[in-house]
Amino acid sequence: MKGILIVVGIVIGTLTSPDPVLFLFAAVMAVVIVRFFWRENEPQVLLISLLLYWSVVSILLLYGWVGQQPLNDLTRYGKVNMERAMLSGLFALGVYGLGIHLFTTRIQSIDRSKLTSILFGYDMKRLLFTYVIFSVITGYFQNKFIFLSGGQLIITLFSFKWVLLMFLVIRARLVNEYRWILALIISAEILLSFAGYWAAFKDYVLVLLAGLLFFIPRISIRTAGLSIIMGAVVFSIAVVWSYSKTEYRAYLTEGERTQVVVREDQSENLERFWQIASRDFSSDQFAVSFSKGVENLFFRVSYIEFLALAQHQVPVFLPHENGRLFMQALEHVFKPRILFPDKKPIYDSELTSKYTGVRFAGAEQGTSFSLGTVAESYVDFGSIYMFVPLLLFGCWIGWLYRNFIVKGYSIVWGMCLTAPLFQFSWSFPVPTSKLLGWSIMYFIVYTLVNRYGLRYIDNWLQKSKS
């Protein structure tokens, strides 16, 4: 029955889309992702990451389908071939997913009863206490390390927060203890995330979703319904943020065009954001504001136009770089600033401006626009050979996932150690330098944590040690 509904939905969407071939290709790709990456008794980190990748490629196609506008008309920076870019993006997703699949296909699923037995041995109160303390520490210190030499090492360690959150969600999913307290803590943290410049509510939602889908063997109508409801709530929040964030960020920085927050009183910041959002989405302005917020969100999520602009610019006006960008990214990663203080920073917006032919605001204006791994691979290697590094990136991410699942301190800790992958595994919009840097740092830090730190944390959290 589910299969019939999916086929009928794809057929109707294809027949009613202004871009039927692209719609069919994108829909089939989404089905393939779910088919091969919905893994029972594992956190759905890879599945959600690849669906995020898919959304970055396909979201404007869906926007055009709703408004009955061809994809080539949905541009903000001039006439470019969006259809070609989307085809390249979908092929890139397929190659990247293949690389991941090659290294994860033989991971053996653990029995649910065994997992339940293991998780029941942990003290939920100590888990909650540890998470809250760690969350407070990271919230206070994280911004203080961003601009320091070697600070990326500490910031990567701070992402252990997502490991603990994944552990809590999985534990609460199986064992009915303190669920309402966990729900209250997560809700409070999502609310407090709006007191900052970036509003990292997305990270909480991704980890929560990966944990909640942990023990579901296949998608059902009930699961799909709950996911749609959750998605609608998150989508509405994202629309409000997309529309109101410009004025709110100006308030946080006291009018300076920078990413440095001056106003640090969280309660005042939340009150101010509420005032701005309430005004923007009042009854007489709601329809216009929501429509504009949806447009802003869809165009901000999509990176297809950047790829289309790069394909228009290179090689007609600029030559392919023959791997120079990739080598620069490697050099940037393997020359840590703490040892090479004169290392030149990579400014994402400057790179994007050069290879798209469009001038984008940069860090000095309080923002950043990255070209993304796929577009950088095209600039480096052209329309065919661009897929080689993307396949290798997929193999690398798949190996990282498998490495921690198989070699984790325990099977539960191994699964939870995959949670920080969300920060870079949906790699289309992530610059190559950041994808390599974040992933290598993740491997180093969590290999050390797994080998030398988790035994002490695990002993503290076990009921038998209480």
Grouping H, G, I as helix, E, B as strand and the rest as coil, residue 338 is: coil
Domain ranges of the chain: 2-312+348-465
Q: Give the pair of three-digit tokens for residue 104.
A: 């994860």
At 129-142, the pLDDT tens digits run 999 999 999 888 77
Q: Give the pair of three-digit tokens for residue 230.
A: 């959750």
> DSSP 3-state helix, strand, coil percentages of the chain (rounded to 5)?
70, 0, 25
Q: d(Cα 145, Cα 149) in Å, to the nearest integer?
A: 8
At 30-39, the pLDDT tens digits run 999 999 998 8
Residue 155 amino acid letter: I
| 410 Cβ contact list (under 8 Å, min separation 6) | 118, 458
Q: Choose from 134-138, 342-346, 445-449 the range with maximum mean pLDDT.
A: 445-449
Q: What is the mean pLDDT of residues 281-304?
A: 94
Q: Contact, 400 vs 45, CB < 8 A? A: no
Instruction: Kindly tell me if the per-residue pLDDT of 144 is higher than 80.
Output: no
How much is the pLDDT for 466?
Answer: 42
At 93-125, the pLDDT tens digits run 999 999 999 999 888 877 788 888 888 999 999
Q: d(Cα 224, Cα 204) in Å, to the nearest integer?
A: 20
Q: What is the pTM of this model?
A: 0.93
Instruction: Kindly tell me if the per-residue pLDDT of 199 is higher than 60.
Output: yes
1 alpha-carbon distance from chain centroid: 32
Q: d(Cα 361, Cα 364) in Å, to the nearest integer?
A: 8
